[in-house]
Chain A
Amino acid sequence: MDTNPSGSGLPKPPRSVVTDRRGPIGPVVLGLAAAVLTVLASFTSPFTLGAEAITALPLSAGLAALVLRLRPAQRSCGTDRSQHDVAPPEPPHRWALVWLGLVVATVGWELYCYLNTPRSSHPTLSGLIDMLDARPIGKFVAFSLWLALGWVLVIQ
């Protein structure tokens, strides 16, 4: 018989009475939910309650994930040194400025188009996206990409 290492002679409790049977259910459920949401979104039109509700769902999930992600970092500040004892981050790579330049140029052009009329002569980024997702298949692809982007930027 497997005895308790404390020497009391009592039988050693089993290491795992209840095995973890969760497996990959979480990602599967999330993937299914995202697929259902994307299909529903592909049949909505902007400026409708349906579109707002479908878009608000992942936004709410992202907000919740962001709050959960930020809270432990704030709580452990100054108390848990183990996370802060790692080496300081390397200084920013000078070539990272190219990314900054591209973002500034894109945002600048977006603002220029947004502030000028007529809209037909100054299409904004959302106008370009509207052209792509005017049909359900286009919206399906665009909404999928947006959800994937949210997963990478907010959840992960």
Chain B
Amino acid sequence: MTGRQWSFLIWAVLGLAVTVWLVATWLSGGRLPTLGAVLLRLKASSIGRVLLAVGWAWLGWHSFAR
């Protein structure tokens, strides 16, 4: 396998892991923290809200502007 193929494989594994955990937490009936619950908890603090906003801003600027 080439380096490029390894990179894509690892990205795919990461994406799959996130998807599996999303579904698992969603189906757990509240026993596991969903992404929404984690985000709500982060947003409850000012620093968490700022960090989320900075991450969102970076993602948009990096993806669409530069």
Residues of A within 8 A of B64 (CB): 41, 44, 46, 51, 54-55, 133, 139, 142-143, 146
Quick check: B14 and A59 within 8 Å, CB to CB?
A: no
A96 to B66, CA, bound (A): 33
A57 to B14 CA separation, bound complex (whole angstroms): 31
The CA-CA distance from A1 to B63 in the complex, in Å, is 66
One digit per residue, 1 when the CB lies within 8 angstroms of any chain B CB and 0 when it does not, for chain A 89-124 equals 100110110110010011001000100000011110
What is the predominant secondary structure among interface residues of chain A facing chain B?
Answer: helix
**A contact residues, range:** 35 or more
Asked if B7 contacts A113 (CB within 8 A), the reply is yes
Chain A residues, CB < 8 A from B56: 62, 146, 149-150, 153-154
Please list 25 pairs of residues, one from A and one from B, whose beta carbons are closer than 8 Å in the complex, sorted by A's number: A46-B64, A46-B65, A52-B65, A52-B66, A54-B64, A55-B60, A58-B60, A63-B57, A89-B44, A95-B32, A98-B21, A99-B21, A99-B38, A102-B14, A102-B17, A102-B18, A121-B2, A121-B4, A123-B8, A123-B11, A142-B64, A146-B59, A150-B60, A153-B56, A156-B43
